[in-house]
Amino acid sequence: MMKKYIIASIGILMASLTFAQEPIPIKISGNIFNTKVDSVTLTQFVGNRFSNIAKVPMTEKGDFSISTKVPYPDFYVILIGEDRINIILREESDIKIYGDGANLNTFCNIVGSDESKNMKVFITQMLEYNQKRAELEQRLQTEPQNRELISKDLQGAHSDFISNREIFVAQNRNSPALLPAMTTYDVNTEWQYYESVALMIEKSLPGSPSIKSNYDNYLAQKAQKEAMDFLSPGKEAPDFEELMLDGKTKMKLSDLRGQVVLLDFWASWCGPCRRENPAVVKLYNEYKDKGFTIMSVSLDKTKDPWEKAIQKDGLVWPNHVSDLQGWSCAAAQKYQVRGIPFTVLIDREGKIIQTKLRGAELEQELKRIFAE
């Protein structure tokens, strides 16, 4: 069941820094019926926690009123019991919130701030899509007999969300309300859209630490992308040589030339990697006889847990390599790996097809390759 509250994935972008500027006056009032909550809190998600600004009582009829100052124009959160409503506050903001306390996620109207109202609509769509995607991806694992049908549903849900996002961006150009949309772009495959929105909202809320933090993040992503251009589709995959599991035999990536190769950086201690392994094993078994193989590069530091993880997860392909140097692994350094799992799909000629493919996206790409 989808959570009742709307806590921003934008919360992770809330800046922990503060600006030296005068606090700004704001007003927030409204009525929440059908609730037993007796107070309303204005807060902000800073770093990994809420920092409360004001707390006011709610009357038995559900009326409340906040009149205070906030440190700067930015993204804030209204707490009403377990429900959380994201709002954007500017100087002299006067916002009214009306809703049904039994289902604020659906029945909530924000008056006096169109950007807050529009942002709420998109966040709701985003959470609904994330929930549906998680459910379908889970079904891919538990209902292999329905894989094709579920994959179509997954593609359909993704297409619907992308369409809704495009409409939202078009209707909210140059608005800070676009900030949560930025968290949904895949910077590897949707860079031009991510960059476009980043530039649109850079000056949308002057004095906002969240907007500044977001823009700084964009600049960091841009620098990383420029540094990673050598892994762009069509570029030749950098060759390397590493020791295999026996600790004696050396193997090069180029030894696999002539096959479609999934270069997979992982480790026994990496939870997301281990959770992804069953899907990778399934794809290997499905396409291994058609010219598909996997080269797994472990970022472990000791052999025993690495070997046990291979056995436990059923990673039956023979191409397991590591120099047991952890993040200092030579191959990982060469590919500038900053997080795992990290994958590079390589064609028969040793050219890069795509990076960071996982789950349904990897499955669809392999289906396309071997259907040609």
- Which pLDDT score is estimated for 14? 45
Q: Each residue of 143-157: pLDDT tens digit?
A: 989 999 999 999 999
Q: Report the CATH number that the domain containing residue 45 is assigned in CATH.
A: 2.60.40.1120
Percent of residues, the chain, with pLDDT higher than 90: 84
- What is the span of the domain harbouring residue 69? 9-111
Q: Each residue of 206-224: pLDDT tens digit?
A: 999 999 999 999 999 888 7
> Does residue 265 sit within a domain?
yes
pLDDT-derived band at 20 (thresholds 50, 70, 90) equals low
Q: Report the CATH number that the domain containing residue 327 is assigned in CATH.
A: 3.40.30.10
Q: Quick one: 209 and 273 in the same domain?
A: no
Q: Quick one: 15 and 90 in the same domain?
A: yes
Q: Quick one: 245 and 367 in the same domain?
A: yes
> Does residue 2 sit within a domain?
no
Taking residues 188-194, what's their average pLDDT? 89
Residue that terminates a domain, selected from 111, 141, 168: 111
Q: Quick one: 101 and 149 in the same domain?
A: no
Q: Quick one: 134 and 201 in the same domain?
A: yes
Decide if pLDDT at 18 tops 80. Answer: no
Q: Quick one: 261 and 206 in the same domain?
A: no
> Does residue 234 sit within a domain?
no
Q: Each residue of 290-333: pLDDT tens digit?
A: 999 999 999 999 999 999 999 999 999 999 999 999 999 999 99
- Does the global pTM surpass 0.75? no
Contacts 24+ apart (CB under 8 A), 270-279: 270/299, 270/340, 270/341, 272/340, 272/341, 273/340, 273/341, 274/309, 274/313, 276/341, 276/358, 276/359, 277/313, 277/314, 277/315, 278/141, 278/313, 279/140, 279/141, 279/358, 279/359, 279/362, 279/363
Q: Quick one: 314 and 249 in the same domain?
A: yes
The mean of the pLDDT values for the chain is 91
- Which pLDDT score is estimated for 227? 72
Q: Quick one: 203 and 260 in the same domain?
A: no
- Which pLDDT score is estimated for 338? 87
